Amino acid sequence: MCGNNMSAPLPAIVPAARKATAAVIFLHGLGDTGHGWAEAFAGIRIPHVKYICPHAPTQPVSLNMRMSMPSWFDIYGLNPDAEEDSSGIKRASENIKALIDQEVKNGIPSHRIMLGGFSQASANSANKDMHVLQCHGDADPLVPFIFGSQTAEKMKSLINPANITFKSYRGLPHSACPEEMVDVKRFIEKQLPPITDL
C-alpha cells in the first residue's frame, strides 16, 4: 500500500479500461486477501473505474486463538459489546487514507473515490451524506443476519437514512454471490457515473 507501514503486499488492482475518473477501494474480510475481490470486480468492471483491493497485514487475531492471518486490526470478539482494537483500527484507517491520498495525487477527485468492504462498517459526522449499500446473506453463520440488520438501523441514526440501502440474499452464507455483485455494480454505476466532459 502507498504509505504502508503495515507490512502488507501492494494492493491487487483492476485498472480502468479507459482513463480512470473514479476509484473503488475495497477491503477484504478477516483471513482473506484482495486478490479474490479484484477478480470479482474484474468481472463487473465499469470502464472509467479503477478498483483497488489492498491486502491486510498478517497478524495474530485474538478471536482465532491468536493465529496469524490477514486482518486489518485485532478482533477480540464478535458480540456487539466486545472490546475493540482502537490503535489497530487507527493504524488501518491511516493506511486507507494514504491509499485515498495517492488516488487524489493520481488525479481522481476525492468525491469520486468510493470505499467499500466485505464484513466492514463505519460512519462518522464527516460523511453524513454518503450513500451506503449494505448487503447481507440471511444464512451467514459468522456474522448473524440480525447483526447486519441492526447495523443498518444504527447507520440510519448516523447518516441520512434515505441514503442507506440494505439488501439481503436468501440462503447466502458469509460470502458473496452473483446477484449481490450485480447489485454492487449498479450501486457503483449510480454513485460514480462517467464524466462526459473529458
Q: Which amino acids are annotated catalytic?
A: 119, 140, 174
Each as own residue / partner, the long-range contacts of residues 61-69 (CB below 8 Å, 24 or more positions apart, any chain) are 61/30, 63/30, 64/30, 64/31, 69/30, 69/31
Under 8 Å CB-to-CB from 97, ≥6 apart: which residues?
Answer: none
In sequence order, what are the beta bridge partners of 49? 22
The Cα-based distances of 64 to 58, 68, 77, 134 in angstroms read 13, 8, 9, 25
CB of 9 within 8 A of CB of 182?
no
Amino acid at 165: T
142-149: long-range contacts (C-beta < 8 A, 24 or more apart)? 142/78, 142/173, 142/174, 143/78, 143/119, 143/174, 147/80
Residue 22 burial (CB count, 10 A):
23
Cross-strand partners of 137: 169
CA angle 73–141–151, rounded 5-degree value? 60
